[in-house]
Structure 1
Amino acid sequence: MLIILLFGFISLIRLVIAKGRNNLPSKFSIVGVSLLLSFIILTPLIFAVHRYIPRALPTGSDTKIFDSAIWKSESSTDWNGGITVREKMLKEVIEKILPGKSRQDIENALGPSLETPYFSSLDKDLIYYLGPERDGLFNIDSEWLLIWIDEEGNFKRYMIAND
Protein backbone atom coordinates (compact mmCIF):
# COMPACT_ATOMS: atom_id res chain seq x y z
CA MET A 1 0.00 0.00 0.00
CA LEU A 2 2.83 2.33 0.85
CA ILE A 3 4.36 1.77 -2.60
CA ILE A 4 1.04 2.56 -4.31
CA LEU A 5 0.71 5.76 -2.28
CA LEU A 6 4.29 6.80 -3.00
CA PHE A 7 3.91 6.03 -6.71
CA GLY A 8 0.64 7.98 -6.79
CA PHE A 9 2.03 11.06 -5.06
CA ILE A 10 5.12 11.14 -7.29
CA SER A 11 2.85 10.83 -10.31
CA LEU A 12 0.65 13.64 -9.02
CA ILE A 13 3.67 15.90 -8.60
CA ARG A 14 4.84 15.05 -12.14
CA LEU A 15 1.35 15.75 -13.47
CA VAL A 16 1.22 19.16 -11.77
CA ILE A 17 4.70 20.05 -13.08
CA ALA A 18 3.72 19.01 -16.63
CA LYS A 19 0.54 21.08 -16.42
CA GLY A 20 2.52 24.09 -15.17
CA ARG A 21 4.87 23.82 -18.15
CA ASN A 22 1.93 23.35 -20.57
CA ASN A 23 3.24 19.90 -21.49
CA LEU A 24 1.16 16.79 -22.00
CA PRO A 25 1.28 14.51 -18.97
CA SER A 26 3.05 11.18 -19.39
CA LYS A 27 1.19 7.88 -19.29
CA PHE A 28 3.20 7.12 -16.14
CA SER A 29 1.73 10.17 -14.40
CA ILE A 30 -1.83 9.44 -15.51
CA VAL A 31 -1.64 5.82 -14.34
CA GLY A 32 -0.07 6.84 -11.03
CA VAL A 33 -2.66 9.50 -10.28
CA SER A 34 -5.43 7.05 -11.23
CA LEU A 35 -4.01 4.51 -8.76
CA LEU A 36 -3.78 7.16 -6.06
CA LEU A 37 -7.37 8.30 -6.56
CA SER A 38 -8.59 4.69 -6.65
CA PHE A 39 -6.76 3.98 -3.42
CA ILE A 40 -8.16 7.08 -1.71
CA ILE A 41 -11.72 6.28 -2.77
CA LEU A 42 -11.73 2.50 -2.36
CA THR A 43 -9.90 2.13 0.95
CA PRO A 44 -12.64 3.69 3.14
CA LEU A 45 -15.27 1.82 1.16
CA ILE A 46 -13.52 -1.52 1.74
CA PHE A 47 -13.20 -0.84 5.48
CA ALA A 48 -16.90 0.12 5.72
CA VAL A 49 -18.04 -2.99 3.86
CA HIS A 50 -15.74 -5.19 5.94
CA ARG A 51 -17.22 -3.82 9.16
CA TYR A 52 -20.88 -4.39 8.29
CA ILE A 53 -20.89 -7.62 6.28
CA PRO A 54 -21.17 -10.68 8.53
CA ARG A 55 -18.10 -12.86 8.48
CA ALA A 56 -17.87 -16.59 8.92
CA LEU A 57 -17.27 -17.71 12.49
CA PRO A 58 -13.66 -18.55 13.34
CA THR A 59 -12.32 -22.05 12.73
CA GLY A 60 -13.58 -24.70 15.15
CA SER A 61 -16.64 -22.74 16.35
CA ASP A 62 -18.99 -25.63 15.56
CA THR A 63 -17.27 -28.58 17.21
CA LYS A 64 -19.14 -28.75 20.54
CA ILE A 65 -22.81 -28.55 21.55
CA PHE A 66 -23.59 -25.73 23.95
CA ASP A 67 -23.73 -26.63 27.64
CA SER A 68 -24.38 -23.76 30.03
CA ALA A 69 -22.62 -25.39 32.98
CA ILE A 70 -19.48 -26.05 30.93
CA TRP A 71 -19.56 -22.53 29.41
CA LYS A 72 -19.72 -20.99 32.90
CA SER A 73 -16.97 -23.19 34.37
CA GLU A 74 -13.57 -21.70 35.14
CA SER A 75 -11.88 -24.15 32.78
CA SER A 76 -14.03 -23.09 29.78
CA THR A 77 -11.35 -20.61 28.69
CA ASP A 78 -8.35 -22.93 29.16
CA TRP A 79 -6.75 -23.60 25.84
CA ASN A 80 -3.48 -25.52 26.31
CA GLY A 81 -2.29 -24.75 22.77
CA GLY A 82 -5.63 -25.54 21.13
CA ILE A 83 -8.94 -23.73 21.24
CA THR A 84 -11.16 -23.27 24.28
CA VAL A 85 -14.44 -25.00 25.01
CA ARG A 86 -16.19 -21.63 24.65
CA GLU A 87 -14.70 -21.19 21.20
CA LYS A 88 -15.89 -24.67 20.25
CA MET A 89 -19.47 -23.82 21.38
CA LEU A 90 -19.64 -20.43 19.66
CA LYS A 91 -21.82 -21.45 16.71
CA GLU A 92 -24.48 -22.90 19.03
CA VAL A 93 -24.42 -19.72 21.16
CA ILE A 94 -24.83 -17.49 18.09
CA GLU A 95 -27.54 -19.58 16.42
CA LYS A 96 -29.53 -20.98 19.36
CA ILE A 97 -28.82 -19.11 22.60
CA LEU A 98 -28.87 -15.45 21.49
CA PRO A 99 -31.71 -15.01 18.94
CA GLY A 100 -35.00 -13.91 20.50
CA LYS A 101 -33.63 -14.00 24.03
CA SER A 102 -33.82 -11.33 26.70
CA ARG A 103 -30.77 -9.99 28.49
CA GLN A 104 -31.75 -12.07 31.54
CA ASP A 105 -32.06 -15.25 29.43
CA ILE A 106 -28.62 -14.63 27.92
CA GLU A 107 -27.01 -13.99 31.29
CA ASN A 108 -28.70 -17.11 32.71
CA ALA A 109 -27.19 -19.18 29.89
CA LEU A 110 -23.75 -17.53 29.62
CA GLY A 111 -23.24 -16.13 33.10
CA PRO A 112 -22.65 -12.52 34.06
CA SER A 113 -20.96 -10.20 31.60
CA LEU A 114 -17.34 -9.29 32.30
CA GLU A 115 -16.53 -5.84 33.62
CA THR A 116 -13.63 -4.74 31.44
CA PRO A 117 -12.52 -1.54 29.71
CA TYR A 118 -11.94 -3.48 26.46
CA PHE A 119 -14.10 -2.22 23.62
CA SER A 120 -15.63 0.56 25.77
CA SER A 121 -15.97 2.76 22.68
CA LEU A 122 -18.33 0.22 21.08
CA ASP A 123 -21.05 0.72 23.71
CA LYS A 124 -21.81 -3.01 23.93
CA ASP A 125 -24.14 -4.38 26.61
CA LEU A 126 -22.54 -7.76 27.38
CA ILE A 127 -19.02 -9.07 26.87
CA TYR A 128 -17.61 -12.59 27.21
CA TYR A 129 -14.02 -13.76 26.84
CA LEU A 130 -13.76 -16.67 24.41
CA GLY A 131 -10.05 -17.48 24.31
CA PRO A 132 -7.02 -16.82 22.15
CA GLU A 133 -7.48 -15.48 18.63
CA ARG A 134 -7.78 -18.31 16.11
CA ASP A 135 -7.77 -17.11 12.51
CA GLY A 136 -5.46 -14.10 12.71
CA LEU A 137 -2.16 -13.68 10.97
CA PHE A 138 -0.11 -13.81 14.19
CA ASN A 139 -2.71 -15.05 16.73
CA ILE A 140 -1.43 -12.87 19.56
CA ASP A 141 -4.75 -11.34 20.59
CA SER A 142 -7.81 -12.63 22.42
CA GLU A 143 -11.30 -13.30 21.06
CA TRP A 144 -14.33 -11.73 22.68
CA LEU A 145 -18.08 -12.11 22.18
CA LEU A 146 -19.74 -8.68 22.28
CA ILE A 147 -23.54 -8.54 22.55
CA TRP A 148 -25.93 -5.62 22.09
CA ILE A 149 -29.42 -5.51 23.61
CA ASP A 150 -32.26 -3.48 22.08
CA GLU A 151 -34.55 -0.95 23.78
CA GLU A 152 -36.99 -3.71 24.80
CA GLY A 153 -34.22 -5.64 26.56
CA ASN A 154 -33.81 -8.35 23.90
CA PHE A 155 -30.86 -9.55 21.84
CA LYS A 156 -30.11 -7.16 18.99
CA ARG A 157 -26.75 -8.20 17.50
CA TYR A 158 -23.36 -9.67 18.25
CA MET A 159 -19.77 -9.26 17.15
CA ILE A 160 -16.69 -11.43 17.54
CA ALA A 161 -13.86 -9.02 18.29
CA ASN A 162 -10.13 -9.29 18.88
CA ASP A 163 -8.28 -7.02 21.28
Structure 2
Amino acid sequence: MSKVIEVVESLATPIVNELNLELVDIEYVKEGKSWFLRVFIDKENGVDIEECGLVSERLSEKLDELDPIPYNYFLEVSSPGAERPLKKEKDFEKAIGKNVFIKTYEPIDGEKAFEGVLKGFDGETVTVDMKIKTRTKTVEIPYAKVASARLAVTFS
Protein backbone atom coordinates (compact mmCIF):
# COMPACT_ATOMS: atom_id res chain seq x y z
CA MET A 1 0.00 0.00 0.00
CA SER A 2 2.80 2.46 0.79
CA LYS A 3 4.24 1.78 -2.68
CA VAL A 4 0.94 2.93 -4.23
CA ILE A 5 1.03 6.11 -2.12
CA GLU A 6 4.65 6.77 -3.14
CA VAL A 7 3.82 6.41 -6.84
CA VAL A 8 0.69 8.56 -6.57
CA GLU A 9 2.65 11.21 -4.65
CA SER A 10 5.29 11.29 -7.40
CA LEU A 11 2.55 11.75 -10.02
CA ALA A 12 0.43 14.24 -8.05
CA THR A 13 3.20 16.54 -6.79
CA PRO A 14 4.09 18.13 -10.16
CA ILE A 15 0.38 18.59 -10.95
CA VAL A 16 -0.45 20.40 -7.70
CA ASN A 17 2.78 22.43 -7.85
CA GLU A 18 1.95 23.61 -11.38
CA LEU A 19 -1.45 24.79 -10.11
CA ASN A 20 0.09 26.51 -7.04
CA LEU A 21 -1.63 24.08 -4.72
CA GLU A 22 -0.36 21.98 -1.82
CA LEU A 23 -0.50 18.19 -1.65
CA VAL A 24 -1.66 17.60 1.93
CA ASP A 25 -2.19 13.85 2.13
CA ILE A 26 -2.87 10.68 0.16
CA GLU A 27 -4.88 7.68 1.38
CA TYR A 28 -5.31 4.34 -0.33
CA VAL A 29 -7.87 2.32 1.62
CA LYS A 30 -10.32 -0.50 1.23
CA GLU A 31 -13.82 0.20 2.49
CA GLY A 32 -16.16 -2.74 2.20
CA LYS A 33 -15.50 -4.28 -1.20
CA SER A 34 -14.22 -1.06 -2.79
CA TRP A 35 -10.78 0.56 -2.91
CA PHE A 36 -10.48 4.36 -2.60
CA LEU A 37 -7.57 6.55 -3.58
CA ARG A 38 -8.05 9.88 -1.81
CA VAL A 39 -5.88 12.86 -2.60
CA PHE A 40 -6.19 15.92 -0.37
CA ILE A 41 -5.13 19.31 -1.74
CA ASP A 42 -5.22 22.81 -0.33
CA LYS A 43 -4.06 26.41 -0.70
CA GLU A 44 -4.05 29.49 1.49
CA ASN A 45 -7.75 30.36 1.15
CA GLY A 46 -8.97 26.83 0.46
CA VAL A 47 -9.57 24.98 -2.79
CA ASP A 48 -12.73 25.00 -4.86
CA ILE A 49 -14.49 22.26 -6.79
CA GLU A 50 -12.93 23.36 -10.11
CA GLU A 51 -9.41 22.93 -8.70
CA CYS A 52 -10.30 19.51 -7.29
CA GLY A 53 -11.75 18.52 -10.66
CA LEU A 54 -8.70 19.72 -12.55
CA VAL A 55 -6.29 17.79 -10.30
CA SER A 56 -8.53 14.72 -10.52
CA GLU A 57 -8.62 14.88 -14.33
CA ARG A 58 -4.85 15.34 -14.73
CA LEU A 59 -3.96 12.75 -12.09
CA SER A 60 -6.41 10.24 -13.58
CA GLU A 61 -4.68 10.60 -16.97
CA LYS A 62 -1.27 9.92 -15.38
CA LEU A 63 -2.62 6.95 -13.41
CA ASP A 64 -4.17 5.49 -16.58
CA GLU A 65 -0.83 5.81 -18.41
CA LEU A 66 1.25 4.20 -15.67
CA ASP A 67 -1.43 1.87 -14.25
CA PRO A 68 0.32 1.39 -10.84
CA ILE A 69 -2.77 0.14 -8.97
CA PRO A 70 -3.72 -3.54 -9.42
CA TYR A 71 -7.36 -3.16 -8.30
CA ASN A 72 -10.31 -1.14 -9.50
CA TYR A 73 -10.60 1.95 -7.30
CA PHE A 74 -12.39 5.24 -6.91
CA LEU A 75 -10.28 8.40 -7.18
CA GLU A 76 -11.38 11.25 -4.92
CA VAL A 77 -9.66 14.64 -4.86
CA SER A 78 -10.79 17.06 -2.18
CA SER A 79 -9.89 19.59 0.46
CA PRO A 80 -8.62 18.18 3.75
CA GLY A 81 -11.43 20.07 5.49
CA ALA A 82 -11.47 22.08 8.70
CA GLU A 83 -9.77 19.31 10.67
CA ARG A 84 -6.79 19.14 8.36
CA PRO A 85 -4.17 16.52 9.27
CA LEU A 86 -0.74 17.69 10.38
CA LYS A 87 1.67 15.29 8.70
CA LYS A 88 4.87 17.17 8.01
CA GLU A 89 7.03 19.48 10.11
CA LYS A 90 5.89 22.46 8.03
CA ASP A 91 2.25 21.60 8.87
CA PHE A 92 3.07 21.96 12.57
CA GLU A 93 4.91 25.22 11.96
CA LYS A 94 1.93 26.66 10.05
CA ALA A 95 -0.47 25.53 12.81
CA ILE A 96 1.19 27.46 15.64
CA GLY A 97 -1.49 29.47 17.41
CA LYS A 98 -4.29 27.16 16.26
CA ASN A 99 -6.27 24.53 18.12
CA VAL A 100 -4.95 21.00 17.56
CA PHE A 101 -5.70 17.41 18.56
CA ILE A 102 -2.72 15.10 18.96
CA LYS A 103 -2.50 11.37 19.72
CA THR A 104 0.77 9.80 20.85
CA TYR A 105 2.22 6.31 20.49
CA GLU A 106 2.77 6.09 24.24
CA PRO A 107 1.47 7.98 27.28
CA ILE A 108 2.94 11.32 28.28
CA ASP A 109 2.03 12.30 31.84
CA GLY A 110 -0.42 9.38 31.73
CA GLU A 111 -2.25 10.65 28.62
CA LYS A 112 -2.21 9.68 24.94
CA ALA A 113 -4.58 12.36 23.60
CA PHE A 114 -4.06 16.09 23.82
CA GLU A 115 -6.20 18.98 22.64
CA GLY A 116 -5.26 22.62 22.95
CA VAL A 117 -3.49 25.52 21.32
CA LEU A 118 -0.26 24.67 19.54
CA LYS A 119 2.21 27.08 21.12
CA GLY A 120 5.41 25.96 19.53
CA PHE A 121 7.32 23.46 17.46
CA ASP A 122 11.12 23.32 17.22
CA GLY A 123 11.48 20.19 15.10
CA GLU A 124 11.85 17.95 18.16
CA THR A 125 9.14 19.06 20.59
CA VAL A 126 5.50 20.01 20.10
CA THR A 127 4.28 22.40 22.81
CA VAL A 128 0.53 22.52 23.49
CA ASP A 129 -1.40 24.68 25.97
CA MET A 130 -4.36 22.64 27.22
CA LYS A 131 -7.26 24.25 29.07
CA ILE A 132 -8.19 22.26 32.16
CA LYS A 133 -11.18 23.80 33.89
CA THR A 134 -9.94 27.25 34.99
CA ARG A 135 -6.22 26.83 34.30
CA THR A 136 -3.90 26.17 31.41
CA LYS A 137 -1.42 23.30 31.41
CA THR A 138 1.52 23.34 29.03
CA VAL A 139 2.48 19.93 27.67
CA GLU A 140 5.67 19.19 25.76
CA ILE A 141 5.30 16.23 23.39
CA PRO A 142 8.33 14.70 21.68
CA TYR A 143 7.70 14.91 17.92
CA ALA A 144 8.89 11.32 17.50
CA LYS A 145 6.03 10.15 19.76
CA VAL A 146 3.25 11.83 17.73
CA ALA A 147 1.09 9.08 16.18
CA SER A 148 -1.38 11.49 14.55
CA ALA A 149 -2.23 15.17 14.66
CA ARG A 150 -4.84 17.41 13.11
CA LEU A 151 -6.36 20.84 13.44
CA ALA A 152 -9.30 20.75 15.85
CA VAL A 153 -12.50 22.70 15.40
CA THR A 154 -13.78 24.25 18.61
CA PHE A 155 -17.16 25.75 19.29
CA SER A 156 -17.16 28.57 21.82
**TM > 0.5 between the two?**
no
TM-score, scaled to structure 1: 0.22
TM-score, scaled to structure 2: 0.23
- Bigger RCO (CA 8 Å, 6+ sep): 2
When you count helix as a share of all residues, which structure comes out higher?
Answer: 1
Q: Which has the larger radius of gyration?
A: 1
When you count strand as a share of all residues, which structure comes out higher?
Answer: 2
